[in-house]
Amino acid sequence: MVQIQECSIDDVPILAEMNKHLIDDENAENSMNILQLERRMIDFINTDYKAFFFILNERIIGYGLCNINKSPIYLRQFFIRREERRKGYGKQAFHKLLEHIGINEIDIDVYAWNKKGIYFWESLGFKNRCFNMRYINN
């Protein structure tokens, strides 16, 4: 069973490493290196965000990063290590996170091209509420 553990500043190197994997997996438009991701994670944790590890058998299998001062709370980052996917741990971690925080409503953003991510979130019952679009004049 997946357990939740709140992270501290000391956990930033692990969070940044997993964040880099998340960026790669999502094909995100983010070219930050690990050091930049560490600095950004420190800024998140020192402001409106809390990070949580997902633990299975004393191993960190992923994390979530939530803006706890938004209403509803905003789940900015959610990651399960590649080797632990498709085993039901993501769904367990999500539900445990909601239970740990004590909420039943949460917002997320998913890149339009991240079909696996969209499928995962829809399988949890998420519904599309809006489209965010961008125009770039080259």
Residue-wise pLDDT tens digits, 124-137 = 999 999 888 888 89
Task: For the domain made up of 3-109, give the CATH fold.
Answer: Aminopeptidase (3.40.630)
Token pair 């890149």 is found at 111
The pTM of the whole model exceeds 0.85: yes
pLDDT tens digit string along 31-88?
Answer: 999 999 999 999 999 999 999 999 999 999 999 999 999 999 999 999 999 999 999 9
Query: Are the C-beta atoms of residues 21 and 79 closer than 8 Å to each other?
Result: yes
- On the question of a cis peptide bond just before residue 13, with omega within 30 degrees of 0, the verdict is no
User: Strand order of the sheet with strand 106-108?
Assistant: 3-6, 49-56, 59-67, 73-80, 106-108
Q: Roughly how many angstroms between the first and final C-alpha of the chain, as a whole number?
A: 49
Beta-sheet pairing, 59-67 with 3-6: unpaired
Token pair for 116: 């696996």
State the sign of the Cα–Cα–Cα–Cα dihedral 108, 113, 116, 122: positive
Domain boundaries, the chain: 3-109
**Residue among 80, 133, 127, 84 nearest 107 (CA):** 127
